[in-house]
Structures are given as C-alpha cells and as structure tokens.
Structure 1
Amino acid sequence: MSVSHRYRISGMTCQNCVRHVTKALSALPGVTRVTVSLEHNEATVESAAPIPFDQVLSAVQEAGYGASDGSDPATLLPAGPAEPAPTDITPLPPSPSPPEPSGLSRTSFRVEGMHCATCVFTIEKVLRRQEGVGRVHVNLATESCDLTFDPRRTSIDRLFSAIRDAGYNPSLPDAEAVKREYHKELTGLFVTTFLGGILLVLHGKAGEGWVLAFAILLQAAGGWIFYRGAWSALRNGTANMDTLVALGTTSALGYTAMHVTGFVPDDMVMTQVLLLIFIRAGKVLEAWVKARARSLLMDTASLLPESASVVLPDGSLRTTPLAELTAGVTVLVPHGERLPADGILTDGEAWIDLSLVTGESLPVRKSVGEELIGGATNAGSPFRMNVTGLGRETVLFRILKMVQEAQGDRPPVQRLADRISAIFVPAVIAMALLAGGLFELSTGDHRLAVMALIGVLVVACPCALGLATPTAILVGSSRALRMGILFRKGQAIEELSRIDVLAMDKTGTLTRGTLTDVIWTPATGESSLERLGGRILEAVRQSGHPVSRALSDYLGQNGIFPVEGSQVEELPGKGLAARWADGIPYRLLVGNLVFLREEGVPLPPLDTGESSGVLVGVAENGQLAGTFRLADELRPEAEEVIRRFRSRGVDVRLLTGDRKEEAARVALMAGIPEDHVHAELSPGDKRELIRTWEQQGKTVAMVGDGINDAGSLTQASVGIAMSRAMALTREKGDVLLLGDDLIRLDWAHRAAILTMGKIRQNLGWAFFYNLLGIPLAGGILYPFFHLFVPPYYSGLAMALSSVTVVANALALSYSIPGGHQEHNPLSGPTEQDPPPIAHVSPTKG
C-alpha cells in the first residue's frame, strides 16, 4: 500500500515555484504522485514506501525552497481520498522551536569573513554537500549559521573544518565577536591609510622603483583581506565582492608597474591608494552600523545580572556568581536590581518592571506562588524567590532564541535578490571586460580602458543586495521585541504587512478574559452547586482557558473542594469532558451549548438573549444540570485598534464559538459590522472559514489564544497569539504578543509594514545603485561629454552603498512606534503604583 506524506514548503511565491518544487519532488525514487499547493504552502507526496525526510529536504533546498516536517504521525495517511478533518484535534506537543525530524540536532554558530550574498551561497553549498546535514540557513547581517544535522553521520568539528576549507572562520557564539570584528576593520583601515599616505608623499618625489615597492607593500597590507576572500571563492568555484575589489586594485597596481617599465606614460598610484582607503573605510562604517543594529538584541541578552544574593539556611546572604547559581536555592532581590533567574515568589508581594523583557509599560504586581521572569527589575520592596530556571531554561533565553531564528529566516521578498546575487559577480566581470575592451578598440587610450575596467569592477556592490533584507529583519524584529512583540519567523513579517483579513477570537482577545459576576442557574432542584461543584471544579481546574480559570476561582472562593480521580479531556473551542470511575460510571460535560447539543444533551428553551455574558452549560450523564453566566468586558483599547486596522483597508472579522447574541453584543461595542460576525463555530469551522478566504486569494491573519486556537493559527497565513511570557513554549503562532494588551496587535502590524517598507527601499536602492553606477563607472558619459568618473569615486560609492543600506535599516529602531518608553493611553487601566519601598530582612520575620 502506498503512503502519502504532507510537508510545509516555504519560499513559494508563484506558479513557477510550484512547478519547480513539483519537479524536484517527482524526481525522488519511489514517488508516484506529487501535489503542491501555493495557497497552503504545502506539498503532498505519494510513494510506494516512506521516503526519509532528509532526502525530501535536500531535493526541495536544491530547488531553492525550504521544507519542514512536523514529524506528526497524523500526517502519514494511506494514499487515496482525504477524510474530513476532525474538529477536535489536540495541538502538537509543545516545542520552543519548530520540531526537527527524528534523529537530527540543531545548532547555531558564528561565521566570520562573509562580505556579500555570494559568501552566503558558498557556505550553504559547502554545508549541504556534507553527509548528514539537513536544513541550512546562513545570515549575512548577523554573520551566523543555523542548521540541522545528524550527529551519527557528522559532527560540529567536521562541519567547522569544511567551512574553514572554504575560506571562512566559524566559531561558537561570542558576545565580544562583534567588537573584535569592528576593531580588526579599524586596524586595517589605519594601516592602509598610513601606508597610503606615505605612498602619496613619495609619489613624484622619490624614484619610481621606490614608489612601485611601496605600492606593492600597500597592496599586500591593505588588500590582503580581499585576496584571501577571492582565493577562497575561486577554490569553491564562485566569485564574490572580494574578487571584484582584488581585480580592481590589482589592475591599478599593474598599470603603475607598466608605467615604471615604460609601457604607459603615467601611473595609477592615486587610484590604488584612494580605492583601498575608501573601501576599507566603508567596511569600518559597515561594521560599526551592523554592530549598532545587533546591539538592539544584545541589550536584551545582557539583562541578567552577573551575580545573585543567595539566602543561606541561617538567614545570612552570600553573593554568588550567576554561573554558580543552582535551581532550588532562594535568592533575595533588592529594590532596583534585576532578577538573576526565573523563579517563584516565596513571600509577600512583588512589583516587577517587565518593560525591558515584554514591553509592559508599568510595574506588575505579583503574589506568593506566582512565576517571575529573569531579567525583569524589582520596582518595589526587596523580596525572596525560589530559583526554577537558569541559563537556557529561562524565558529570556527562549525569547532571544526565537528572535534569532526569525532573523535567520529568509522571507519570499529576498528570493529575487538571491537569484540575482548568484550570477551578479560573473556578470560584472564580463561587463568590466566589455567596457575596457570597447574603450581600447574605440579610442586606443590604454588609461581610459583600464579606468573603465577598474571602475566597473569596484563600483558594483553585491553586498547591498545581500544586506537589504536581513538587516531590516534584524532591526525590525529586535525593536519589536522591546515592544513586547515576538516574531517567530521572518516570513511572518512579510505576511503580516500585507494582510487582507484580520480574524479575531473573542474571549481573551477582544475581551479581557477576566470573567466576573458568575451566576449559576440550576436546571432542576437537584442541581445545586453543593452537590455538583466539586466535580465541576475538578474538571475546570485542569484547563487554562479563561472561562475555566474564572469558574475555578468562583468555586474555590465559595468553599468548594475538587472531587479528585477524574480523567479530563479538553476539546478546544468546545469544552471539557470528565469521567469518574469511583463506583458508578459518571460523565460530566462543561462547555458551550453547541457542544452539549452535539453530545446529545437535550436542551430545553433557554433565556439567552436578555442578559449579556458568556453562557456555559453543565451536563451530567447526558442530562442538563444547569448553566453558568459569566460577564466579560471588552478591552478598552479594542475599538480603537479595530478602527486603525479598518482604516488601513483590512477586513476585520470576529470568529467565536460563543452564542450569536453575545458575539453580536461584543462586535457592536468593538465596531465590527454585524455581517462580519461568525458565531457558534467549532475549531474545525474556524479553520474551514479561514481556508475559504485563503482560497479566494486573501492573506489572512488570525488572532487568538495560542493554545485553544492552535488549529486556526496554523491554518492562517500568519497566526498571532495573545501570550503570557511564561507560556511561550506552549504557544502556537507565528507572532506572539507578550503582555495583556491588544494595542500590541496594532504595533505589530505597523512594525511589519515599516520593516517591509525598509526592505523594499533597500532592495530598490541596491538595484538602482548598480543599474546606474555600473554604466557611469564604465564611461557611458565619455562619448557625449568627455566626462569620466574616476575609479576611486566608484570605490567610494561602492563602500557607501552598503553603509546606506544598513543605516537605512537601522532607522527602523527610531521609526517603529510604541515601546516601553511610552505609556499609551489605549493600554487601558493599569494597576496602582507600587507601594513605598519597605525593608525586608533575609529571614522571615
């Protein structure tokens, strides 16, 4: 029997992409049928026997696209007509990053020595040739590589060796590496400028032999880095920016040597000196601006303090380096100090400033037993906490890891630049030879021919093409993080920037989700809370849904204790089903009325229209026992946020499993038209509705609970989850909004639009610069005006073009709105200011 397996395909933008992926997968041995969907970014492969995922991944990557496999057994189905998808699919197990195929490990490391997009392709090609390597992503802006590999077939040392053989320097992540790179470039510029200055002084005063000797010395000292890079590229069968600079400056040196030997009347000492100085100065500026861009993320990475005050058994304090801190110890956090690790508050209350972690504008009050995030600041009195998470186990580390993965992702907009960059350098060399040849043949002037040759070689800038997208993603995602917005994929930024439909869940998204004024209405005289409350509490306390939390709090406050020993199944979007086997089998259902009706519970006519609020039904053993009504408030910022989206032309829709009357009430207050309200939907209904919109060619964003709305978030073009920072690893969604504030949804959309605007500006500038600069440097003005751009000006323009692209991206850190520095009036009521600081001794009083 044949099998069918579904894969997520990234990077497809048109039907040509579909054909390329189809062709690549059809070539795999044993494949009988391939179906690729552009709308769903999905490929279904039918084969006589299961195909190892690394073969599928390799085939798709060779075609220029990405593939992922959730390793979900539910996706491995017999070939044939697809069965209707169930409506109660349980979300996949939690994972802090996209799941990797079984047996593969994931690692990230730095790669030094990259200068342009060709370097990126060279490293990726070298790594993909290694046995056991799966997905590979190299990022020029962050000078990093993220890959998956099979540790049984290769090792990190072997991969590092392959990269070194290609002419680059891999190393483990190092916070000081960026500074070292900048200082290395600065030293190179100083040496080049010093020797170049001596050469210009000697020029015209010393003998020609001395001038040539110093010119060779200058070329060796200032141009060695370009020769090394060019040689490494040549060994790998490619050419890069180093190749162009090495050829251009060597041509100027060669022309000077020809002058010394009497073949030409003058030299090109000035051209050689200024070319090297301008290009090295450009690399210094580029390194400085890139370091500034990276610092946006490094500032967050350095939030953890270097030491902690550990409370010893006798109550005394001991200052302990963070590296020696262990889980389970108690630490004292003084006022104004940052929390050294994740933990649990053990006494009193705490006021925590999360502005640098999640973007919360004001301190948040925490009570005993609540979770605390390392890197946050104590804004109130000193308190004690029990350490639960250190290093890689902290929320802060997971946040940074997700952002770095997003920064390494290539959105589809980069595809065109990647393809042009792959042939850019060979094409430039051909144009340089053509320009020089034309001047030699038409004028017979050797100097003009060499100037045209050098000008074209040094003016062309593949760096700008390679840096256009990753630098904007780097700055945009880092700035968004400071605003409490976590982009988990670079592609999500592009998708969010062009959404047509914004689908929103109701409870906990449009509304606060802090349900109050709980009213119980029994269906019969025997349905008292005294008799049923313990079983209801046992069921709802095992769910994280806002309604379940509200019912759990209400029942607990009324002195009800849970009846333990149950088996509880949570059906997303519907409710809970609990069973007890203590004697007579007992089944309890807690959920919306549609759920109860689907389960065969007979429902008498209920008064659902007079009062507002969420209506929850309770049934025992197939009979209605009663209903809870819970009041829920609209978020104060919701109406303004929706108005802003609609003003940008986004079609806002409300998707909810709640009853129609309540959905219409909330929609009216939020400013959503009545015909845009879709109520009493199951999770499967939500997915089908989103799929229908996408089949109509619309880009859909879904906003909801990252756990209960997991299916809808996965189906949407971009899934946005309202998330708590401590629950990051359980959330599904391409974008996470950290903190209880819907205004971040507006900020995320504006950040995505501005980031994509910068990417388009950068790509437009890179294309325009090269299209204009190459003809000018090649002497196109000479036949008409007898004007010729000196090659050293071309070199200066090339150096500044990369700096312009990176600096333009860096401007995002100032143009993206929002952030913790500002308190937005739309953020709604906040907690009162923290109380005056009190003294807390290390031991309990």
Structure 2
Amino acid sequence: MSCCAPGTEAAAEIGWDPSADEIRLASRDLGEGLRQTDLSVPAIHCAACIQAVERGLGKLAGVESARVNLSTRRVAVKWRGDGPPPLFTTLEGLGYPAHLFEPETGEEDPEQTRLVRALAVAGFCAMNIMLLSVSVWSGADAETRQIFHWISAALALPALLYSGRIFFASAWSALRVGRTNMDVPISIGITLAFTLSLYDTLHHGQHAYFDASTSLIFFLLIGRTLDHIMREKARTAVRGLARLSPRGATVLRGDGSRDYLPVAEIEPGMRLLLAAGERVPVDAIVEEGVSDVDCALVSGESALQPVKAGASVRAGTLNLTGPLTLRATARAQDSFLAEMVGLMEVAESGRTRYRRLADRAARLYSPVVHATALLTFLGWMIATGDWHRAIGVAIAVLIITCPCALGLAVPIVQVVAARRLFENGIMVKDGSGLERLTTVDAVAFDKTGTLTVGRPTLTQTHIVAPDAMGIAVALAARSRHPSSQALARIEGVSLAADLSDITELPGLGIEGRSGSSLYRLGRASWALDEGHEQHGTVLSKDGVLLAGFTFEDTPRPGATETVAALRDAGFGVSILSGDQVPAVAALAENLGIADHQGGLLPGDKLGALERLKTRGHHVLMVGDGLNDAPALAAAHVSMAPANAADIGRSAADFVFLHESLSAVTTAITVAREAGRLIRQNFALAIVYNAIALPIAIAGLVTPLIAALAMSLSSVIVVANALRLRAGRIHKQNAGVNAATRQAHRASQTDLAPVR
C-alpha cells in the first residue's frame, strides 16, 4: 500500500484534506499578508451553489473574499493569518467536497463526458418508451398495454439510476445540510412521476407516465449540457492564451551554466536565453541580441516589431528572427499573459445586477414551488377527493415550473458577449461593465495614448548645456509617460549617472536629485518657479529652466471614424487631457470634438466627470496613463488600451488589444445587444411561467406535456442568446455598428471585424 497522499480526485471522494503546510505551499502570496488559495469544487453547478459556497466561506475568520467561477468549478479564496482557515472542512459541511485546484492539462473534459453519456442513456430510454406509448395511445388492448407498461418501466429504471443521478446527487448534497436548490423539486418530480406510473402499472391502470420522467431527465440534461458546452467555448479563449506561455525557459546562471526551469520558477532578475521561434515566457527586457518580434497578442499590430538591447518584451510574444538574451522583470503569474487570462476569467465569473436578480429568483424558487405544488395537491383533494388525480397535477406543477430558463437567461448571454468581445480584441475586466455600458450617453477621452497613438516624437529642443540632455534622458528613462519615452529613445546621449531619489508625480512629471540640486522634467507650471511663461515640457534645475521640448503625436487609427460615429449616434464626446491646451485644441479641431479641456491634473479630471454626472450623464472614460487611473475608477464605466500603465489597466472595466479606437463602438454595440437579449430572456422566462403555472394548476397538462414545455422554454432562451454570435444588429445601434466596421477597415492593425 502506497504511503503517498491520495490524488486530488481521490481526495475529493474519500474526504482527504491537505495539511496546512500543503495549502500554504499551493497558495499564491498576494503581498501585505494576503494569500489566495484556489480550490476545485466539482459539485457546483448553479446560482444557488455559488451563493452557498461564497457565503459559507465568507463567514470564516481570516477570509477576505471567496469568488466562484462556475465554468471551471473553481473557488478563489483570499485569506490572512498564520495558518489557512478550515476551507475543506467547511465545504464538506456545506455539501461541496473540494480539493486543491490544478490547472487543466488539455485532457478530455470529464464533466462533459459524464453529461453526454447520461444524455445518451436518457435519450435512448425516452425514445423507446415514447414508441411504446404510441401503441398504447393508439388503442392497444389491456394485455398488450400492460406488457408495454412493464417494458417502459424496465427502460425507465436505468434512465433514473444512471442519468438521473446527476440531479439526485445534487439534491441530496443540499438536503443533507438543510438547504434546497433547483434540483430538489426536479428530483421530487422525477421520482413521483416514476413511482405513480409504477403504481398504475401494478394496478393495471390505463395510463402510465414513464415517458414523462425519462423525457424530463432527457430535456433537462440537454439544457445542462448546452450550458456546459457554452461555458467551455468561453474558456477556449482562456486556454488559447494560456498555451501561448511556454512550459519553461533556459536560464543563464552567473557562473555561465544553463538550467531549464519551469516557467513558474522564473524570478525577476534571472537572465534567459530565447532562441528564434520561441515565445517569451515572462515579461522581460532585452539585454543582448537583435531580432523581430510578433507582438500581435499585445497590440494587434500585424507588422513585426524590431527589438534590441533595452527593449521591453511581453510574455506570449513570439521571437522570430534571432536569438535574444533577456532579463526577467516579472514572475509568470504577474506577466502580461497571465493578466490577460485573468481578465477573461473575471469576465466570465463577474455577476451583474441581472445575474443577482436571477440568484434571488433561484433562491426563492424551491420553497415557492414546493408550497404551490402542495397547495395544488390539497386543492384537488378537497375538490375531487381523488388522490391519484391530485398527485398527478402536483407532479405537473413541479415539472413545468423548473427554473432552467431563468437560470440560463443571464449567464448564457454574458458568456457569449464576453467571447464575442474577445474575438474583437476587447477584454472584459469587470462583468458588471457590460451592464453599465448599456446606459452610457457620453464618452470622455484622454488625449495622449488614447486619441493618439501615444508615441510622440521629439520635434524641437532648446538645450542650454550638453549635460542637460543627459539629465533629461536619464529621468525620462524612469517614466512610462509617452513624452518621456520619446526622450528616452534619443541615441548618442551620455546619461547622467548620479541621479537619486527619483520620483514620478502623476499629472506633473518626474524629479530626481544630483548632489544638492533638484531636477524636474515635466509640466512647466510645476517644474519652474513662479513668473516663468514657458509652456509645455521642460527640464529645470532648482526651479530654473534648463531646456524645453516640443513633441508631436498622430491620431490613433480609427479615431476620426469612431468620434464621428459616437457623435452621430447622439453621444456627448469630450476630451479631458493633461496635455498642453494648444495641443488638445488642435487635436479636438482635427477630430471635430467641440468639448475639450487641456492642462488637467488627475483631480481636475475627476471634477469634470463629477460635473457631467450631476448633469445626469453616464460617462464612458477612455484613458491610458497613470494620471487617468482615478478618472477611470470613478467613471460610470471605463476602457483602456493594452499598452496603458498597469494602474490604468487595473482601474478600467475593459481593455482593448488592437490599435484601432473602434473598440469603443464595438464594445457599446455588443453591450447593448447583450442587454437587450438578457431582458428578452427574462421576459420569456416570466411569460412562460405566467402562462404555464395556471394551466398546470388547472390540471390541463400531463407530466409528459409539462416536461416538454419546460424543456422548450430552456431551448428558446439558449437559442435567443446565440443570436448575439450571429451578429444581428439592433436598429438603434446601426450607426455605431456601421462606423465600427468602417473604422476596422480603415485601420491596418485590426483584429477580425464584428461578426
């Protein structure tokens, strides 16, 4: 007998819990004493499960948050303390056994296999029972009818025991801890329909509803399998991104030796050897070598980007023409590629107001339906005294009110919308952003790096002394501001080496000390003493002007078409920029934007957004810089390009990968269409229940018809959600969609156009 700990799957089955040390080793250190543990919880399958798990874990001491991803059946728990909370014991007590999450290895999906097999068994049994039922309905004599009933019972039994266990196991896991979920009434309905049919067969009854119980299982499994497959399609994008990261890299040690390490063991500062044809494993800086890199993943730019010593490269980009020596600047879990994977997972698991409404409906469903079925049974007993008839009607009520359509109404649309946006180079960072984007009526743009490409070129300099340029370039090299990067690209300059205490101040500039002197590079009003009339970007020493710099930038591809489309569609369009007022005014005139403000500090941008808000506007803020982060976080909804500052991407709800600004109109179009389909799905589910429930209570449907009606409502909801992928354009968005397509055609850096 092996003394090793059981595997993860076996552990979940026999209740083995990892030790505290194992949990700590499997957890990710998030800094400041906060750790994250990812758990795999296979029993999660609906909104009620999500709520039970998140609430149960959230009550534990030390747990900061617990977030469920329904697609991956994964729970991300953030906690503090000397030791991990009792996560596994708590989940076991809630009826959801768990094990430590392990990234998938590309093997066959066991859950989908289980669902498909159960669906096949239920379909085979239901089909054959229906064929036998046709003979009974056609007027078979009593002996033939009895034989067919017994054959139907024999066929229904494996459907219940094998296919129905998916619902029975879920219902039992809820009941044994004193809870209910949507599978409880389903299981009761299936069991009662089979039991009543078996009773009628034993007593030579004229009707038996084995076809109802098996058909109910079959159609419920169709909906559950469709839901699982749709979520798997959404996860395909995440898996595709994850595959772009190599499994490891060759590390060059200080003594000249080389080791091949797994990508998870690469630390910042390690030197990596990258051959032509290999992908960059982590974010890094080129130390040696010259090559061309395919950066389409990062920016959507189809042209190859030449790199040499000093250039930054992102994880997942492809090295094409020459070997490179890199120095890692981030761990794998902190690199750009991991961030993109995280954005997709957050998008899929984010819950909007609509989904919270669905959660409440699902939570109220079980007690309401149980009470309705009980009252229906009592009412028919009082009215007719026929217990057989009363229980038959109660079964129909349980079956016909199954909330599958309501449960699918939001997640299906949200998954499809997130996938469609991803296909067009837009990452959804916050799921609620899709809902908020539907109410936007004004769009505010930053200038540099947003309306422009963010790669200004230095056009004019006024240098007092040669060493001033060395100081300016040395300061600029420490900043990600586009103007600073333009200065840092200047070659042939001897950099000042004695700068210290270098600090960047958002919206102002960057400063550093050399000896007792303070040098500032940035906004003239900040860098210079009072009384100077200099404008633009300057270098100062102790408040005295040393140099002035003039830059030029070009509009981002698709900017003109996007602004025109937004304006024609009735959106208010404005520019809120920290750049010089003349430069902002010139760009605004070029793009046809009447409302523009320049020279704004981060607090000024917040004030401008607040004024728009007080006038009743819902503003989409599009920005990229460090000084845009407060505005991005405060806006009704926000968007940033992939090359934005880290804090800007973190504050934004959407991140777009390609150069074209048409991502703005694409996101608005998809969000509005998704919102419309969600409202339609809720309306369909409500109308269905409003019609079906009174009919079932009146005794006008059999359990079989109830099963067919319930399944049809789920199929309709799923089919309605799939229309989003078909690219159907709503009339009110026609102008935005047309401009989106035009902007995509105009840009050479687009991903595939909206389909």
TM range (shorter): 0.7 to 0.9
Between the aligned partners of 1:464 and 1:130, the Cα distance in structure 2 is 34
Q: Secondary structure at the match of 1:544?
A: coil
After superposition, residues 104-183 of structure 1 pair within 5 angstroms as 104-152=34-82, 154-155=84-85, 158-171=86-99, 172-175=101-104, 179-183=109-113
Please show how residues 220-619 of structure 1 align to structure 2 within 5 Å: 220-262=161-203, 266-305=207-246, 328-334=271-277, 338-339=279-280, 342-345=283-286, 349-356=290-297, 359-378=300-319, 380-381=320-321, 383-386=323-326, 388=328, 391-442=332-383, 448-521=389-462, 528-530=464-466, 532-554=468-490, 556-557=491-492, 559-562=493-496, 564-581=498-515, 585-596=516-527, 600-604=529-533, 615-619=536-540
Write the distance in 2 (CA, Å) between the matches of 1:177 and 1:120.
26
Taking structure 1 as reference, are residues 768 and 164 closer, same or farther at Cα in structure 2, changes over 3 Å only? farther
CA distance in 2, matches of 1:491, 1:310: 42
More helix by share: 2
Q: Which amino acid aligns with 1:714?
A: A
AA of the residue aligned to 2:230: V
Distance 2:651 2:264 in 1: 32
Q: Contact conserved, 1:515 with 1:632, CA < 8 A, in 2?
A: yes
Q: How does 1:431-830 map to 2 (within 5 A)?
A: 431-442=372-383, 448-521=389-462, 528-530=464-466, 532-554=468-490, 556-557=491-492, 559-562=493-496, 564-581=498-515, 585-596=516-527, 600-604=529-533, 615-673=536-594, 676-724=595-643, 727=646, 731-779=650-698, 788-806=700-718, 808-813=720-725, 815=727, 824-827=744-747
Residue 100 of structure 1 and its aligned partner are, at CA, apart by: 7.5
Deviation of residue 183 (structure 1)?
A: 0.7
Match of 1:63 in 2: none
* CA deviation after TM superposition for structure 1 residue 296, in Å: 3.2
Q: Is the 8 A contact 1:425 1:462 kept in 2?
A: no
Q: Deviations over 1:309-349 (max 9, x none)?
A: 99999x99999987898953413233xx6555555556654
**Conserved 8 A contact 1:122-1:236:** no
- Residues in 2 aligned to 1:723 and 1:142: alpha-carbon distance in whole angstroms: 26
Asked whether the 8 Å contact 1:458–1:791 carries over to 2, the reply is: yes
Counterpart residue number, 1:219 = 160
Deviation, structure 1 residue 265 = 5.1
Contact 1:310–1:320 at 8 Å: present in 2 too? Answer: yes
Aligned residues of 1:122 and 1:238 also touching (Cα < 8 A): no
Q: Is the 8 A contact 2:458 2:552 kept in 1?
A: yes
Classify 1:213/1:751 alpha carbon distance in 2 versus 1 (closer, same or farther; 3 Å).
Answer: closer
Q: Deviations over 1:153-204 (max 9, x none)?
A: 644xx32333233333434144368721111112223333455567676983
State the Cα distance separating 1:260 from its structure 2 match.
Answer: 4.1
Q: Distance in 2 between matches of 1:211 and 1:747?
A: 53
**Equivalent residues of 1:290, 1:806 under 8 A apart:** no
Larger RCO (CA under 8 A, 6+ residues apart) = 1
Q: Secondary structure at the match of 1:705?
A: coil
Q: Distance in 1 between matches of 2:477 and 2:322?
A: 32
Give the SS at the match of 1:457: helix
Task: Sort the Cα spacing of 1:134 and 1:460 in 2 relative to 1 into closer, same or farther, 3 A.
Answer: farther
SS at match of 1:628: strand
Residue-by-residue CA offset, 1:31-64 (whole Å, 9 max, x unaligned): xxxxxxxxxxxxxxxxxxxxxxxxxxxxxxxxxx
Asked whether the 8 Å contact 1:461–1:801 carries over to 2, the reply is no
Instruction: Report the TM-score, using the length of structure 2 for normalisation.
Output: 0.81
What TM-score, normalized by structure 1, do the two folds share? 0.73
Mark the CA change 1:265 to 1:152 in structure 2 (over 3 Å): closer, same or farther. Answer: farther
Residue 232 of structure 1 and its aligned partner are, at CA, apart by 1.9
- Take 1:532 and 1:311, find their aligned partners in 2: how far apart are those partners? 37
Q: Kindly indicate whether the alpha-carbon contact (under 8 Å) linking 1:472 and 1:758 is maintained by their aligned counterparts in 2.
A: yes
Q: CA deviation at 1:709?
A: 1.9
Alpha-carbon distance, 1:636 to partner = 4.3
Q: Go from structure 1 to structure 2 and tell me whether the alpha carbon gap of 1:630 and 1:288 turns closer, same or farther (over 3 Å shift).
A: closer
Asked if structure 2 preserves the Cα contact closer than 8 Å seen for 1:192 and 1:222, the reply is yes
Deviations along 1:422-454, whole A, 9 cap, x unmatched?
211211222223334444444556555334322
The whole-number CA distance in structure 2 between the counterparts of 1:652 and 1:823 is 17
Q: State which of 115, 126, 134 in structure 2 corresponds to 1:185.
A: 115
SS in 1 for 2:56: helix
In the alignment, structure 1 segments of 5+ residues that lack a partner are 1-97, 522-526, 609-614, 783-787, 831-845
Give the secondary-structure state (helix, strand or coil) at the position aligned to 2:518: strand
**Does the aligned pair in 1 maintain the 2:660–2:749 contact within 8 Å?**
no
Partner of 1:18: none
CA contact (8 A) 1:543 1:570 kept: yes
- Distance in structure 2 (CA, Å) of the matches to 1:577 and 1:454: 76
Matching residue of 2:14? none
Aligned counterpart, 1:837: none
Q: Which residue of 1 aligns with 2:20?
A: none
Q: CA deviation at 1:603?
A: 1.8
The 1:748/1:821 distance shift into structure 2, 3 A limit, reads closer
Contact preservation (8 Å) 1:358, 1:738: yes
The one-character-per-residue Cα deviations of 1:579-628 (angstroms, maximum 9, x if unpaired) are 322xxx323333333335xx633125x6x7xxxxxx32343333344532
Which consecutive residues of structure 2, in runs of 5 or more, have no partner in the other structure? 1-27, 134-143, 729-736, 751-755
Displacement, 1:773?
3.2
Cα–Cα, structure 1 residues 105 and 815, in superposed 2: closer, same or farther, change >3 Å? Answer: farther
* CA distance 1:385–1:776, shift in 2 (3 Å): farther
Q: Distance in 1 between matches of 2:539 and 2:281?
A: 45
